[in-house]
Amino acid sequence: MLNGNKVLFSGMQATGNLTLGNYLGALKNWVALADEYECYYSVVDMHSITVRQDPAELRRRARALLTLYIAAGLDPEKSCIYFQSHVSGHAELAWILSCFTYMGELNRMTQFKDKSAKHADNINAGLFTYPVLMAADILLYQADVVPVGIDQMQHLELTRDIAQRFNSIYGDVFTVPEPYIGKIGAKIMSLQDPAKKMSKSDENPNASIYLMDDPDTIRRKCKRAVTDSEGVILYRDEQPGVKNLLDIYCACTSKTPDEAVREFESCGYGQLKEAVSEAVISVLAPLQERVRDLEKDKAYIDKVIHDNAERAAYASSKTLRKVQKKVGFPERIR
């Protein structure tokens, strides 16, 4: 808590391409949080290798994601934006915490079961102990709050359990993190299956709008978005496809659902889809331009990577050294 503010930790995996849902649901809101919290935003590339990755592609995607963080408005002078793999404390603390985590707790993690089903040919130990590394990510920086979706709540609960267990043995070592309760980002659903969230891992390329999609691609995807046969534009659960399009439109224009429904009262689905696509394009165009500018400035991105890795390492080392001393590791000779 360097500046007197509470500490917030969050991160995204360096796999796949970020979607409009990732931006409107999380990344866009991270920018505002920097004024309220001391923020650590990680590119969690260590988590990415529980599934086999092409090394060159992982490096490219990790750098592209960090660049997107900055393009979206995160200030690397204000928030610590760094690669998880550049801070060895994540792995070191994860090993210690794994010795304070029970097999039964990890067996109950639903994401392990889901990912094991999807990657039956590579059910590795890292996939099983993934939540312990996530706990280390959070506890390493003494995070007070963590923005989490419903799919990650189980992991945060495990993090809290591990922290409380360690504290009960060794005293007040870890801050026990709370889920971030604040402005809720827009929940953007799949364009092809509005019953599930828009995902960067969706196999159907028409289901997601990616942040670097060009205008023609965005128009084509919106045009193909699933609606229904009712032919009326209302914001209701009975019309999930239409409701999702309205959610996207509202998130991009700052209008309320009621205002949007009134605007499209006498329109057909085609007109709604066209308006949604243009609203999305208007939001993503400046972001994409900023990304392209940043990609040309290799020296600046390299400096951010170097400086923020040092910042994160320094902040994390205080917790790590304290934990190492508590568990009985010999003191390091400087």
**What is the CB-side half-sphere exposure of residue 122 using CA atoms within 13 A?**
10
Catalytic member of 28, 115, 243, 273: 115
CA angle 4, 7, 10 (to 5 degrees): 155
DSSP assignments along 264-312, one per residue: TTT--HHHHHHHHHHHHHHHHHHHHHHHHHHHH-HHHHHHHHHHHHHHH
Measure the CA–CA gap between 240 and 245, rounded to whole angstroms. Answer: 9
Torsion of Cα atoms, 297 then 299 then 304 then 306, to 10°: 160
Give me 185's structure tokens.
């980002």
Let me know if 325 is a catalytic residue: no
CA angle 187, 117, 203 (to 5 degrees): 50
Measure the CA–CA gap between 136 and 65, rounded to whole angstroms. Answer: 21
Let me know if 115 is a catalytic residue: yes
Residues 221, 191 contacting (CB under 8 angstroms): yes
Catalytic member of 197, 221, 243, 273: 197
Catalytic member of 200, 255, 322, 326: 200
Measure the CA–CA gap between 225 and 191, rounded to whole angstroms. Answer: 5
Let me know if 28 is a catalytic residue: no
Measure the CA–CA gap between 281 and 213, rounded to whole angstroms. Answer: 9
Per-residue b or e along 14-34, where b marks 16 or more CB atoms closer than 10 Å to that residue's CB: bbbbbbbbbbbbbbbbbbebb
Report CA 219 to chain centroid distance, whole Å: 26
Give me 199's structure tokens.
């995902």
CB atoms inside a 10 Å sphere around CB 250:
21
Residues marked active site are found at 115, 197, 200
